[in-house]
Every structure is written in structure tokens, then in C-alpha cells.
Structure 1
Amino acid sequence: MRLRRFFVALCVAVGVVVVYQYVAQERQLPDYRQKIYAALVSWGVSIDGVVLPVSREDIDRHIALLWSDDGEHRVEAAAWLASRGVQEAGPAIAASMKDEGTYRPCQLAHSLGFLGDDRWVAPLADAIQDPRNADLRVCATIALGELGSAKAVDVLIGAHRQGTVGSLALTALSNIADPSALPYLHSVVQAPRNKIERRAAEEAIERIALVQQDDPVPFLIDRVRRSAKFGPLDDWAVKKLVGLGDPRAIRAFERAFQDVGLDRDDDLVVLAAAMLAQGQGGLSAIRGLALAPSRSGASRSEIAQAAWALGNNVLAFRMPPANAAPVAQKQPG
């Protein structure tokens, strides 16, 4: 009897621990507003006037954790901040990445790549040259591709020449798709080290040729539409369309948002952020999606409503009524 009670108590205790860990993990995940905000940050979109949907207390606590004695806490804190687009954490993440007490600095480099600012090219370029940490070199290379800055082209070409990161440097150049890389990419195609490098260089050349079209918008829209229907979403094409700021993209993003299938919340977040980045026209499209009855899962409406809430923040801060009294600073959270 005692053994049975002990077994029941043990099962209950294990269950409580599992539930606690699950709840704790869920709390670490960003909500839809935070994810949309982070997408805008990663693209380098101006977010002046937008209230960061994270509390000041949480930001300060996680920035402090970047210098925790527990190296794993540093990794988790950097990921938490980057996944919510906390730009002010960039200098601390970059500094912690270089600190010898950081466990897996590779992961901090990865986080830095999502903060969408040319300022992080230099510390990531230094990380690519690290003579001892191959993982850090790899993550820094990928992060430079995520940043998408033309300032990283020479760094990536140099890394590929040295053979320290292999075809990953070519993939990063493909994500940046800057014409200044073309001569080197053509040289790789002519004398590749292997088939993987040849294909990576060819893909980069194809992307650069696309963005060099007199009017690349229809080609990019086609990529977004097809990938929305069949998956996965072509994030690169979405980012390039956002950067061009062409109003024709609004309808394409709206249609893609409606076409994306179930269980693809991350794609919906990207498309909602893309519409929001288009200004008033995109915000009107978001409003229609937020108010429309959801035909295929609640998350579609919830994500549109989250984008609508962020968009209203932008309008409230950038375009206050001329005769309105000064608005008190809103508190994040």
C-alpha cells in the first residue's frame, strides 16, 4: 500500500514538474505582436514611434543575464531579446559574444543576425576570423546573411577564399544579393571546389539577376504567391519586396496571407509584418483581415489583429491630431 502511494505521489510530482517546465517554456516564447515587431526589426524597417511590446523590467533583466556566471543563461537571454526585436540589446550581445565566459558564443552571433542593423557587421566579421571556434565562424557567416547588408560582401568573399566556412559564405552572399559580389560568384562557378559550391554560387547569381531587372516586383510577387500556397514561404522574396516599398506588393502579401495553410503561423507572422511595413495601404489590408471571420483556424485572425494593434501604435505616435493635447508616453508591456 505504501509503495502504491509512493508511486502515485511520484507520478504527481513528475507531472507537476513537466507542467511547470512546459509553462516556463511557453513564457519564453514571444507572442504574435512581439514576433511581428521582431520581423520588422530584422528587415531594418523604421520603427520610430512604435511601442516595443516588451516590458522594461523584462528587457533589463535579460540584458543583465548576458553577463551571468552561467554561460547557458547568456545564450538564452540573447535568444529571448533577439526573438522580440530588442535592438538596444545589440551592443551587449556583441560584447558578450566575445567574452570567454560565454557558453556557445555561436548562438549569440546567431541572435545578433536578427537585429537588422549594419552596426553588427563589424563584430560578426571579427567572429568569422576566430581561429579557434569553428562553430562561431559558421554562425557569424549565417548571421551576416540574415542581416543582408552589402557591407558584409567583402568579408564573406574573404572568408570563402580562405576556406574557413565553405559554401555557407556563398549562401550568405545569395541572401544579400548585392551586384558587387557578381565577379567573385562567376569565378566560383567557373572553378568550384565541389558541386555544392557551384550550386550555391549559381543561386546567388540568379537572385542578383532577378533584383537587377528593370522591374523585379512581378518576379518577386510570383515567388511569394507560389511559396505561400505550397510552402515554405520564400522569406527572401518577402524581404526584398519590403525593401522596395512598391505598393503592388500589398495585394500580393494580402493574398498570400489568405493562401497560407494551417500550422504555418510563422509564415503568417512574416506576411503580417510585410503588410505593416507598407504603411497606410498595408495597414488597411491588415484591418480587413483582422475583422474578417476566420475560415481556417483562429491564429490567422489573431495574427492580423496583433499587426493591427502595432499599426495603430505607429499611427498614434507619428500622426497625432493637430489640435490634440500632448499624449503621455505609453508604457511597454
Structure 2
Amino acid sequence: MSKRRRLSARATAGRAGGVFLVLLCCVMVVHLVQRMRPRPAGPDYGQQIAATLVLWGIDTAEFQLPVDPEHVEQHVALLGSDVSEQRVEASHWLAARGVRRAAPAIAAAMKDPGTLRPCQLAHDIGFLGDDRCVDDLAQAARAGDSGDLRVCAILALGELGSPKATDALIDAYRGRGDMAGALAVEALGKIADRSTLPFLQSVAKAPRSSFERRAAATAIERTETLQLPDPVPSLIAQVERSSRQGEALDVWAVRKLVGFADPRAVPTLRQTFISAPAKSAGRIVLAAALLAHGDPGAAALEDIAAQAPKTPTAAPTIARAALSLSER
């Protein structure tokens, strides 16, 4: 290779690396701002558990959802406020409490030019699990003038967990040679739909970065797990492994176990719930998962709730909050 070609190749690689770094910084800044900015009083344990059930698509008709309808209407109305920050705060309030019916209104506010931080609204839509908003998020994922909105929309499409989002994510990958494209592969791993296997395998053979390689490998592993004749033992093992090794809870595996509603998962979910660190978001996820497993899960929660809580964030306190949702 001539010296000129080598220099050109290095320059191209440098530009690609620079774009990747810029988008990575965008993601970090967005999440930092979301964590640091002042919030109104957050949802209580019961509301957080209810919101998790809504995200997973669980029919909550049999539960007593702890949200005041009047407050819901007030916050839905604020999505049309002339003050952009009120729209953002209203969206966060609704998403944190699992008010799924607000998703189309949040999507409309996200697309309104008067909303100064549409990325946060895209993030909120993802946590409502409403696949009616796939087209809105797909449009945001193609936003040419907003890198942070693209990233948040791609992440939200993954959080939806719906096969309806796969085409939009594949388009996002093909349309972007930067981190947004790599995140689309990671999002496909959260959905783990068998129709995406050929695409994921093609990415694994010729990844554009090490991040893509890892994301594609994880997505393929997850998708193949769900194609097993009986995926439940493998999913249980994944939850146990993440707990035993002190890693972050494998929320994906927990969510898929909820979809199967197999009572074999209850002992592992119960033990992982008890042993989870205090103040761990994983306890909310596990409480929701046990509640979604019907009578066997409720019995496990009742056993835990009968114990004396040592701290306000202890497992018995959260178990009682979960059980309160099923009380009429």
C-alpha cells in the first residue's frame, strides 16, 4: 500500500472513531442529565412494580393500580403545555407509573418542535411498552439533525420488546455506521425474534466495531435460547448466574420467564429477590415477576412479606407493596 493510501485509511478510521466517540458522549450526557436534574417526588414501590408489569405487557385489569386518575389527567394535559419542561416532567411522571394509554400523547409531544428535550420522551415511550408507537420511534431513529434523539429512539425500540420494531432497528443499523447502528444490534438482542437471526449472523461475520461483535453475539445467543424446545431451564440458569456472580440482574431473562409463566421459575425468582442488594432496582423487577406468576408467585411474596423488615428498603416491604396491588 502506498504512503498516500495508508494515510487516507488512517484518516478514515480516525473520522469513524471520532463519530463513535461523539455519540458515546451523547449517550452518557443524556443519561447523566436525566439522573442529575431535579425531579418531583418519584413513584412508590407499588407504582414502580405496576409500571414494570405494564412494560412487560401484563394484563393489569385484575390489579388495583395505585395511580390517582385525576393526577393522570392533569399530567396528560401537561403534555400539551407551552412550557417544554412541563411536557418533559409530565411524560416522566406518566411513564414512571406505567400509564400506557398516555403513550400516543407522549409520542405527539416528542415530535412537536416546541419540545426541547424529545430524547427524554422517546426514553419514556420505551418504558411504556406500547408498540403502537413503533412508527413514531422509527421516525425519530432516522432523525438526521439530532444524534441524542436517534440514540434514545433506538434504545426505546429495544425496550418495547416487540417484533414489530425489528424492521425499524435493522433500518437504523444500515443507515448509520456509528454507535447508533451498533446500539440497534443491541436492541435487537432485547427482542430476540427468530426472524432477525440471518441479519445478526451477517453482522457477527463482518462487524464494524468490537461493540457490534459483542452485541451481535449476545443477540444471537438470546434468540437461539428462545428457540429451544424448553427455554425455561436456560433462562432460570441465566438469572441464577447473574445473581451468583454478583453481576447486575439479568432483566432480559426475568422478562422472558414472565412470558412463559412457568412455576419452575418461582423458587429462583424468590431466592434472587431475597438476596438482591438493598435499594436494588432488581428487587422491583423480581417482585413484579413473582406477582406475574400467579398463585405460586403470590405465595412466595406472602412468605417474604411475613418477615419483619430490617430497613425501609428490605425485601418484606417491597413484597407487601406487590401484594397490595392484588388486593381489591
Query: 8 Å contact 1:28–1:80 — kept in the other structure?
Result: no
- Name 1:122's counterpart in structure 2: 135
- Name 2:271's counterpart in structure 1: 255
- Name 2:32's counterpart in structure 1: none
Cα deviation digits, residues 179-200 of structure 1 (max 9, x gap): 1111011111111112211111
Structure 2 matches for 1:143-292, cutoff 5 A?
143-163=156-176, 165-229=180-244, 230-264=246-280, 266-292=281-307
Structure 1 Cα separation of the partners of residues 203 and 313 of structure 2: 47
- Cα deviation for residue 98 of structure 1 reads 0.8
Aligned residues with identical type, % of pairs: 51
Query: 8 Å contact 1:74–1:103 — kept in the other structure?
Result: no
- Name 2:146's counterpart in structure 1: 133
- Cα deviation for residue 57 of structure 1 reads 2.1
Q: Which amino acid letter does the alignment assign opposite residue 100 of structure 1? A: P
Query: 8 Å contact 1:171–1:200 — kept in the other structure?
Result: yes
Cα deviation digits, residues 55-103 of structure 1 (max 9, x gap): 1221112111111222112111111110100112111101111111111
Query: 8 Å contact 2:64–2:326 — kept in the other structure?
Result: no
Instruction: State which of 79, 86, 89 in structure 1 corresponds to 2:102.
Output: 89
1:74 matched to 2:87: yes
Please, which moves more after superposition, 140-149 or 159-168? 159-168
Structure 1 Cα separation of the partners of residues 59 and 69 of structure 2: 20
Please, which moves more after superposition, 40-49 or 118-127? 118-127
1:308 matched to 2:317: no
Please, which moves more after superposition, 182-191 or 126-135? 126-135
Cα deviation digits, residues 113-172 of structure 1 (max 9, x gap): 011222121211121122222211111100010010011111111110111622010010
- Cα deviation for residue 220 of structure 1 reads 1.0
SS in 1 for 2:325: helix
Q: TM-score, normalised by structure 2?
A: 0.84
- Cα deviation for residue 297 of structure 1 reads 6.3
Q: Which amino acid letter does the alignment assign opposite residue 188 of structure 2? A: L
Structure 2 Cα separation of the partners of residues 65 and 26 of structure 1: 16
Structure 1 Cα separation of the partners of residues 279 and 50 of structure 2: 21
Please, which moves more after superposition, 301-310 or 122-131? 122-131
Query: 8 Å contact 1:286–1:304 — kept in the other structure?
Result: yes
List 4+ stretches of structure 1 deviating above 3 A. 294-298
1:98 matched to 2:111: yes
Cα distance change on mapping 1:222 and 1:296 into 2, 3 Å: farther
Query: 8 Å contact 1:66–1:93 — kept in the other structure?
Result: yes
- Cα deviation for residue 306 of structure 1 reads 0.4
- Cα deviation for residue 298 of structure 1 reads 4.7
Q: Which amino acid letter does the alignment assign opposite residue 257 of structure 2? A: L
Query: 8 Å contact 1:127–1:140 — kept in the other structure?
Result: yes
SS in 2 for 1:167: helix
Structure 1 Cα separation of the partners of residues 193 and 39 of structure 2: 38
Q: Which amino acid letter does the alignment assign opposite residue 182 of structure 1? A: L
Structure 1 Cα separation of the partners of residues 135 and 267 of structure 2: 37
Query: 8 Å contact 2:159–2:187 — kept in the other structure?
Result: yes
Q: Which amino acid letter does the alignment assign opposite residue 81 of structure 2? A: S
Structure 2 Cα separation of the partners of residues 68 and 28 of structure 1: 20
Query: 8 Å contact 2:65–2:325 — kept in the other structure?
Result: no
Q: TM-score, normalised by structure 1?
A: 0.83
SS in 2 for 1:28: coil
Give ranges in structure 1 of 5+ residues lacking alignment.
Answer: 1-24, 314-333
